[in-house]
Structure 1
């Protein structure tokens, strides 16, 4: 969602997204934006 829609990584930490994922899966613990950034950069390096 974040990459596909070109949203800022901090989007995942905002209240609206938090309410969204808690409604779908209350036990979901999303990764921090720093972890997501690191993972995306690693994938980019492999795919380029």
Structure 2
């Protein structure tokens, strides 16, 4: 039925959204780590560009 199709699409979108959030959090954490390293002066030049 139409309702089943719509429901499954919504579920799929919700799952994709959760993955995107996880990716975003991951990149934010990496940036924060690199930021800390920069402050401590431990970052190779390649990472700062």
Q: TM-score range by the shorter chain?
A: 0.3 to 0.5
Q: Please say which structure displays the higher CA radius of gyration.
A: 2
Structure with the bigger RCO (C-alpha within 8 Å, sep 6+) is 1
TM, length-normalised to structure 2: 0.34
Write 1 or 2 for the structure with the bigger share of helix. Answer: 2
